[in-house]
Amino acid sequence: MVFLYASPTEIVLQIEAAIRAQADRQSRQLRHPDGRWNAYLNSMCIRTVLFWLQTDYSLSARVWLANELPELWGAVNGTAIALNHKRFVFIPSKQIDTEELIVPQEWVDLAEWAGDYFVAVQIDPEGEWLRLWGYTTHAQLKTKGEYQAGDRSYVLDATQLVRDVTALWVIHQLNPTESTQASLLPAPAHAPPQIQSLLQLSDLLPPRLTLPYTQWSELLCHGETRQQLYQQWRTSEARSLLPSSVKLVNWLQHRFEEGWEALENLIQTQPQLAYSLRDRTDSDGAVRRARSIALGDGHHVILMVILAEVERSSQIRVRLYPGDRPLPANLSLALLTDVGEVVQWVQAREDADFIQLKRFVCPAGKPFWIQVALDEPLFLESFVG
């Protein structure tokens, strides 16, 4: 990693291409657009900053709640790093104007979450570098920051920030016990008795601004309820996106859902597909069905599912073929679990004849998703084996 210093008081770090690619893959686990964007920015930010801290300052630096990412980013912007009994919360943004620091309320008012220091991070629009341009303490943010009820955040003007970020690490090393936090009330030792009803209310997606803050904070205070929230959130998003499923057992009985056509029907209406959809030595007796997917620019691609029955399970092959022009280089095909976790993901290369997922076996009754995306999801279909 290359470290760049734009000025004596700021720290600019290069974001490696591998980190950008990993952030892109990780963000795809979230279906909600805001959550995906948060995950993308935070993943690039925290991986780059953590490497820098561990390289230049201390190998003991650790990401707080690391096992709950990226689900946490689906709700709240920011990531905390624990170092020498202090918590540094990094708040990334792609805003060009660095006039203020905006911190979600959770990082300020939840005693279990509260940071000691808050660091403003600007990320280059191309994702090639990030800039640490100012910081403040929890006490400063709590007492001088302006609370905005609309998005439940604390806002501190740039003039109130300490702009010499390089000094933060010196101060922390010289005075690691510095008093940084304002007083906060601790959360209840146990989850409240109405927690199950709150989890049911969290079906409103995203729940961060739909639940009253006191109830939302109760969900976040306890690790077990956070895990329940994440699981229910993913499942609810899946249900809202995919109201019905393609039942593959019906395909084996030659009953097909609307939109899934026989190959010969597609070739009759689109003769140019004859070469692309030619037989590629899949299992004899396999059921083949395909459908056209619009790319949004007047062009389309062809999604093909090849199904064979093997010992009461479905053996499945999924391919994506060009329609009336070559596949776009950033077109992707993915296999997701029923709660939206990415199992397989493949992206088209320039002039690819087709792309395909590795053949997989699906037990009877097991659900999964197939997704086609071109920067943003174009097609999501739920299947049941």
**CATH code, domain with 299:** 2.60.40
Rounded Cα distance between 188 and 26, Å, is 33
Asked if pLDDT for residue 149 goes beyond 60, the answer is yes
Residue pLDDT, tens place only, 276-320: 555 554 556 789 999 988 887 778 899 999 999 887 788 999 999
- Find the domain containing 312 and state its range: 245-384
Given 186, 201, 229, the domain boundary residue is: 186
Rounded Cα distance between 238 and 341, Å, is 10
Same domain for 68 and 111, yes or no, is yes
Tell if the pTM clears 0.75, that is, is over it.
Answer: no
- How large is the average pLDDT for residues 125-135? 92
Name the domain count of the chain: 3
Same domain for 170 and 288, yes or no, is no
Same domain for 303 and 367, yes or no, is yes
Same domain for 198 and 331, yes or no, is no
Check if the beta carbon of residue 280 is closer than 8 Å to that of residue 315.
no
What is residue 294's predicted lDDT score, i.e. its pLDDT? Answer: 87
Same domain for 77 and 138, yes or no, is yes
What is residue 281's predicted lDDT score, i.e. its pLDDT? Answer: 47
Same domain for 255 and 341, yes or no, is yes
Same domain for 21 and 86, yes or no, is yes
Same domain for 30 and 80, yes or no, is yes
Given 170, 186, 202, the domain boundary residue is: 186
Same domain for 209 and 72, yes or no, is no
Rounded Cα distance between 36 and 23, Å, is 10
313 versus 105: the higher-pLDDT residue is 105
Same domain for 74 and 199, yes or no, is no
First to last CA, the chain: 45
Same domain for 27 and 110, yes or no, is yes
185 versus 60: the higher-pLDDT residue is 60
Given 140, 158, 186, the domain boundary residue is: 186
**Of the ranges 52-56, 119-123, 324-328, which one carries the lowest mean pLDDT score?**
324-328
Same domain for 171 and 202, yes or no, is no
